[in-house]
Amino acid sequence: MKKGFTLIEILVVIGIIAILAAIVIIAINPAEHFRQSRNTQRVSNVNAILNAVHQYAVDNQGVLPPMIQGAATGDAGTFDICADTDTESASCTNLFDSSELLPNTIGQKYIVDMPIDPTCNVSGSTCYTISTTTYGRVTVTAENAEGTSISVSR
């Protein structure tokens, strides 16, 4: 009888090595996975904000929310989006107000809550910006995107 390894034994060892290698690769670079997770959240948030603005425009015969119409009427600019529902300042624009104080915002009718960037450290800001062109094209951008640019236009 010859001594040696059977094919099954070799395949089992290769399988175990592959599993251990995968575990080691994941364990070595968790920061990359966290970065990808945060960027995925940013893409979701940017799309949610843009969809809410788009739905507002659909319900209002193509008219954008008044707080971002400035760029569409010639006052070009990019506006930071406020995180607080009762904040309106020169540094940010309030797209979301659940009260009747600002009835022309996207409020709870179009989005339940204003999303905030996962790494945003700016008080009162979402760390997302919104801009419009003179042709009415709306762009929402994640300013804190890690390793890539996250911007969606419609």
Task: Identify the pLDDT of residue 48.
Answer: 92
Task: Identify the pLDDT of residue 75.
Answer: 54
In whole angstroms, give the CA distance from residue 142 to residue 149. Answer: 8
Strand partners, 70: none
Task: Identify the pLDDT of residue 101.
Answer: 44
In whole angstroms, give the CA distance from residue 63 to residue 136. Answer: 9
Range of the structural domain that residue 116 is part of: 7-153
Mean pLDDT for back-to-back runs of 10 residues, the chain (154 residues): 86 96 86 90 94 86 75 62 64 63 63 87 86 84 91 86
Has residue 2 been placed in a domain?
no
Task: Identify the pLDDT of residue 112.
Answer: 79
Has residue 134 been placed in a domain?
yes
In whole angstroms, give the CA distance from residue 116 to residue 107. Answer: 15
Has residue 15 been placed in a domain?
yes
What is the total count of domains within the chain? Answer: 1
Tell which residue, 111, 116, 113, 109, has the closest CA to residue 50. 111
Phi-psi region of 79 (alpha: psi -120 to 50; beta: other; left: phi over 0): beta
Q: Which residue has the tokens 């624009």?
A: 93
Has residue 85 been placed in a domain?
yes
Q: Has this prediction a pTM greater than 0.75?
A: no
Buried b (16+ CB within 10 A) or exposed e, 59-88: eeeeebbebbeebbeeeeeebbbbbbbebb
